[in-house]
Amino acid sequence: MSHKILITVLWITILSTNSLFAKEFDSTHELPKVITPDKHRVFIRGVDGSGGLRFPVMDYLKYEPINYMLVNGFDEYAALNAFSKQKDQTGGSRQYELEYRYLDKFRLIYENRRLVNVPTSDNDSEGFRFKESYKGFGAGYFHPLSPNFNLGVSLRRVSLDQTTTIGTVTFNFLPTNSGVGIMGRDFGMQAKGYVPGIHLEIKPMRWFEIHLGNQFYNIVGDDTKVRVDSVPFTFRNVTTNVMFYELANGNVNYTGEKTTLDFIFRFSSWFATRWGYSVEKYRVKYNNYFIFLGDIDSSVVYSALEGSQKQKMEYSSLNITVEFSKSFGE
């Protein structure tokens, strides 16, 4: 589902809701009742999500053999890797939320999410292990345009911590290259910043709501890469392990948007469920990037090539939320 489909669904909902309110209701068709805002209310939510996932390291590995050929010339093995199709990844997320509302207008929210790739029989051969830890704390103001419509703005302070590990073991039995090799790679990115958002809440019925939100990311952080390979080499019946390593570091800009659409069903004053869909699309751009490969000349060339690349982070998920709430005061 794209952004255009989400916007289309929103406008259809608004038009149909306005049509409902414009009718003249008789004694058997009263206007839908809405919940009177509490002075104080606290919400606790648990959100499970699942969907397609693409993380930045996948783009890095896609460009890596191309960079190698630009520096060293054509290589059959590198060309095969450059043009082979990467396997699709599936993501699974779990988020916990704590929210406080005053008169339903002024809101404070804390969010904590863990997102990982889910290995399957189709993609586990690539050995990816991706994990993202997200924490957000912020405030919002939601203005009631009518008893059935709220328009809100929010501002969150967020922190992201993404890690990807790739570990493989090789078994070689060639006369000049026999033994067990170990190849390990670790990728890490940490970013922080403020994320504004705009939100619309539609409450056509007391027990049913529709929420649409959009958050705008433009945060900064650091990126690190570490690679250590131990490759066996046999000469005159003597096998030794040759070590190969890479160290990289740079500043990153993490920009993009997160769009959410939720349908809320309130079964009582204290319990509700949400069924929704979210689309997250971000871009990672390097600043002051440098990779050390063991010699200065190669390091400078590869730093320029890799530092100019942009990588994508995308996650489109179906979400199910369980919500508990409690009011306080008058």
Q: For residue range 163-189, what is the model confidence (pLDDT) as tens digits?
A: 999 876 655 555 555 555 667 789 999
CB 248, CB 292: distance < 8 Å: yes
Task: List Cα–Cα distances, 251 to 123, 318, 319, in angstroms.
Answer: 30, 32, 32
Name the packing angle between helices 56-72 and 296-307 (round to 10°).
Answer: 130
Res. 26: pLDDT tops 80: no
* pLDDT recorded at residue 30: 44
pLDDT over 60 at 17, yes or no: no
- Lowest mean pLDDT segment, chosen from 120-134, 225-239, 293-307: 225-239
Strand partners, 156: 138, 195
Q: How far is CA 323 from the centre of its chain?
A: 22
* pLDDT (mean) for 123-142: 87
Q: Is the pLDDT of residue 227 over 80?
A: yes
- pTM score: 0.82
Share of the chain above pLDDT 70, in %: 78
Q: How far from 309 is each of 34, 129, 231, 271, 293, CA to CA, in Å?
A: 51, 22, 29, 47, 18
| Interval 249-274: pLDDT, tens | 999 999 999 999 999 999 999 999 99
Residue type for position 257: E
pLDDT at residue 38 in the model? 87
Cα dihedral: 292, 295, 299, 301 (round 10) = -170
State the pLDDT at residue 20: 45
Whether 35 shows a pLDDT value over 50: the answer reads yes
* pLDDT of residue 104 exceeding 90: yes
Q: What angle do CA 115, 281, 307 make, to 5 degrees?
A: 95
User: Is residue 120 predicted with pLDDT exceeding 60?
Assistant: yes
Looking at residues 36-55, what average pLDDT do you find? 94
Alpha carbon of 153 to those of 41, 43, 141, 161, 214: distances in Å?
19, 19, 6, 25, 10
At residue 314, φ and ψ (nearest 5 deg) are: -135, 140
The DSSP-derived string for 39-74 is: SEEEEEEEEEEEEEEE-HHHHHHHHHHHHHHHHH--
**Residue 22 pLDDT > 90, yes or no?**
no
pLDDT band at 25, cuts 50/70/90?
very low
Residues in the chain, total: 330
Q: What single letter denotes the amino acid at residue 137?
A: F
Mean pLDDT of 217-227: 95
Mean pLDDT across the stretch 96-116? 97
Domains of the chain: 3-328 (2.40.128)
Based on C-alpha coordinates, what's the Rg of the chain?
A: 26
Strands (E), 126-237: 128-146, 149-174, 177-205, 208-235
Q: Give 185-220 pLDDT, tens digit per residue.
A: 899 999 999 999 999 999 999 899 999 999 999 999
pLDDT (tens digit, 9 = 90+) per residue, 133-152? 999 999 999 999 998 999 99
- Pick 116 or 330 by higher pLDDT: 116
Report the candidate in 299, 197, 199 with the shortest Cα–Cα distance to residue 250: 299
Residue 21: pLDDT over 50: no
Cα separation, 4 vs 210, in Å, equals 17
pLDDT value of residue 294: 79
The token pair that represents 158 in the structure block = 């967020």
In terms of C-beta density within 10 A (0-12 exposed, 13-18 middle, 19 or more buried), how is residue 4 classed?
Answer: exposed
Residue 157: band (very low, low, confident or very high) from pLDDT cuts 50, 70, 90: very high
**Mean pLDDT of all residues belonging to the chain:** 84
> What does the pLDDT read at residue 7?
54
pLDDT tens digit sequence for 287-319: 889 998 878 888 899 899 888 889 999 999 999
What pLDDT is attached to residue 124? 57
Token match 């009177």: residue? 36
